[in-house]
Amino acid sequence: MPHIIAEPCIGVKDASCVEVCPVDCIHPTKGESDHAEATQLYIDPDTCIDCGLCVDECPVQAIFPKDDLPAEWSKYIQINADHFKKK
């Protein structure tokens, strides 16, 4: 049950979450080539260990445990996973 980055991240991409993630599963980071074109950041569901450290770092409250994700943003479960399938 990974954490999910939802709609508030779009256009923000603050990336404070990237700094605290102990398993480096939030991408694209500012150093990656696809950071500029990405609409938001994404969490790799296969790597996330559900520690929750990223949640409080987000300035726009865009990150949720999968079970607490607001229903209107449920499509972001697939959107986060799809980002890593493309690679």
Question: Site residues (CB under 6 A) for ligand SF4?
Answer: 3, 20-21, 23, 25-26, 43, 48-54
CA distances from 21 to 9, 29, 37, 73, 74 (A): 16, 12, 22, 22, 22
Least Cβ distance, residue 7 to ligand SF4 (angstroms):
17
Q: Are strands 42-43 and 3-5 parallel, antiparallel or unpaired?
A: unpaired
Pick 10 or 53: Cβ nearer ligand SF4: 53
Using the minimum distance from each CB to ligand SF4, give the nearer residue, 51 or 75: 51
Residue 75 Cβ vs ligand SF4, minimum distance, rounded to whole Å: 19
